[in-house]
Amino acid sequence: MIKDLKISQVYNSVKEKTIKISMKTEKGIFTACAPSGTSEGDYEAKTLNNEIIIKNFPEIKKKFIGKNEKNVDKIIEKIGVEKIGANLSLVLSIAAIRALSKNDVYKFLNKKAHIFPYPLGNVIGGGTHKGYTSIQEFLVLPAKAKNIKEAIKINHSIWEDVGRFVKLKGILLGNNYEGAWMCKLDDIKTLDILSVIAEDYEAKIGIDVAASEIYKKGEYFYKNSKRKLSSEEQLEFILDLIKTYKLFYVEDPFHEDDFKHFSELTKKANCLVVGDDVFATQPYRLRLGIKKKAGNGIIIKPDQIGLVSKTLETIKIAKKANYKTIVSHRSRDTTDSFIADLAVGTESPIIKCGIHGKERTSKLKRLVEIWKKVKKPEMAKF
């Protein structure tokens, strides 16, 4: 039973204040912090700003006190996720499932959980996350790792090698919102460098184009190469990148309403074609995509839908349709590690949570902690 609820604010990775909830039950105090995005999609559940949430909180709180934590999502649905703000909704929902599971959410979701996701790490970044490139993220996946510790180490080594190289070349501009390197390199040169370094570790590489952010009036704009592409040209460009750099993963290669080109790419490319903004973790958007055969993977961001129960529903739909689920952080994240539990508990083959910075390593540390707790842990197969 929920005895008390407290709201406070903590700083996220870009030093902005975000909401934290502490839920008191007879089993203890359970907390959760709200992440948020920069390249946010139009179909994401809407958040409210902290001041409004804090002002409304005394009234909202009354609806939960004395209630069983099992019913939190139902109570929220009755009021409306967006009415209380998807950020507040999500932290209430996460705190509740933590209370129910005494903080071992992975086990609560799946008693036999023992399959671990490969960490997909952001090495070089740009786009709206700050940086020089137009493509938002240049990612690596340590496909040869036999356990989670080794996987984390490989990603970190690649990140370090890249950092050392670009420092030496005098083209390092710093770290961006997700701890990825910002370098004075265009998209193609970035892939040239990353592919060579990743090869040393037999790691796979991928990109998050976050294409909605570079799409204006029917064209995709690549600022540093002055490339301006129609949707057809974008399709050819992405196919060419997949072939040249052996990309195993391409996220949001088209803007969020372009199911058509998503499905054309899925048909033509032999790699993961992953939808983030296009699906926004919403069951109805994913169902639309499945119907149109758009993509074969989905980014799962609980804050895009604001409820753990709804997130699980989306994952279930994805699995049934053979879409790979990639559980993901946000660019403006906190040290909350919920997504690690979610990824293990749902046997998602990939977790996208960055490499560097405490907001990123908190999820990786939690994966190591869970690895030690479960019987016969093993890495996912995909």
State yes or no: residue 208 binds ligand 2PG (CB under 6 A). Answer: yes
Give the Å distances, CA to CA, from 19 to 6, 31, 108, 214, 294. Answer: 10, 11, 25, 30, 35
Which residue among 69, 186, 256, 276 contacts ligand 2PG (CB under 6 A)?
276
Q: Which residue among 40, 44, 137, 178 is the active-site one?
A: 178
* Minimum CB distance to ligand 2PG, residue 307 (Å): 18
Which residue among 190, 282, 328, 362 contacts ligand 2PG (CB under 6 A)?
328
Of residues 44 and 208, the one with the C-beta less far from Mg ion:
208
State yes or no: residue 210 binds ligand 2PG (CB under 6 A). Answer: yes
State yes or no: residue 356 binds ligand 2PG (CB under 6 A). Answer: no
Q: Which stretch binds ligand 2PG (CB under 6 A): 2-10, 38-46, 74-82, 194-202?
A: 38-46
Please tell me the distance from the alpha carbon of residue 143 to that of residue 203, in angstroms, as a whole number: 6
Pairing of strands 172-175, 324-328: unpaired
* Minimum CB distance to Mg ion, residue 4 (Å): 36
* Minimum CB distance to ligand 2PG, residue 125 (Å): 8
Enclosing H/E stretch for 81: helix 81-84
Please tell me the distance from the alpha carbon of residue 221 to that of residue 219, in angstroms, as a whole number: 6
As given in the structure block, the two tokens for residue 233 are: 């040209």
308 close to 73: Cβ distance less than 8 angstroms: yes
Instruction: List the one residue out of 99, 98, 138, 95 whose CA is nearest residue 120.
Output: 138
Please tell me the distance from the alpha carbon of residue 37 to that of residue 26, in angstroms, as a whole number: 34
191 close to 138: Cβ distance less than 8 angstroms: yes
Cβ burial of 120 (10 Å; 0-12, 13-18, 19+) is buried
* Minimum CB distance to ligand 2PG, residue 234 (Å): 17
Of residues 125 and 345, the one with the C-beta less far from ligand 2PG:
125
By a kind-dependent CB cut-off of 5 to 8 A, residue 47 interacts, out of Mg ion, ligand 2PG, none, with none
Of residues 276 and 336, the one with the C-beta less far from Mg ion:
276
Binding mask 39-78 for Mg ion (x = CB under 5 A): ----------------------------------------
* Minimum CB distance to Mg ion, residue 320 (Å): 23
* Minimum CB distance to ligand 2PG, residue 66 (Å): 35
State yes or no: residue 208 binds Mg ion (CB under 5 A). Answer: yes
Residue 15: strand pairing partners? none
Which residue among 73, 258, 276, 359 contacts Mg ion (CB under 5 A)?
276
Please tell me the distance from the alpha carbon of residue 152 to that of residue 232, in angstroms, as a whole number: 37
Please tell me the distance from the alpha carbon of residue 85 to that of residue 52, in angstroms, as a whole number: 9
Q: Which residue among 20, 204, 301, 363 is the active-site one?
A: 301
Of residues 300 and 317, the one with the C-beta less far from Mg ion:
300
Total of residues contacting Mg ion (CB under 5 A): 2
Give the Å distances, CA to CA, from 328 to 118, 190, 203. Answer: 12, 23, 19
90 close to 34: Cβ distance less than 8 angstroms: yes
178 included as an active-site residue: yes
State yes or no: residue 330 binds ligand 2PG (CB under 6 A). Answer: yes
* Amino acid type, 155: N
Please tell me the distance from the alpha carbon of residue 13 to that of residue 254, in angstroms, as a whole number: 27
State yes or no: residue 142 binds ligand 2PG (CB under 6 A). Answer: no
Catalytic residues: 178, 301
Contacts to ligand 2PG by CB under 6 A: 37-40, 136-137, 178, 208, 210, 276, 299, 328-331
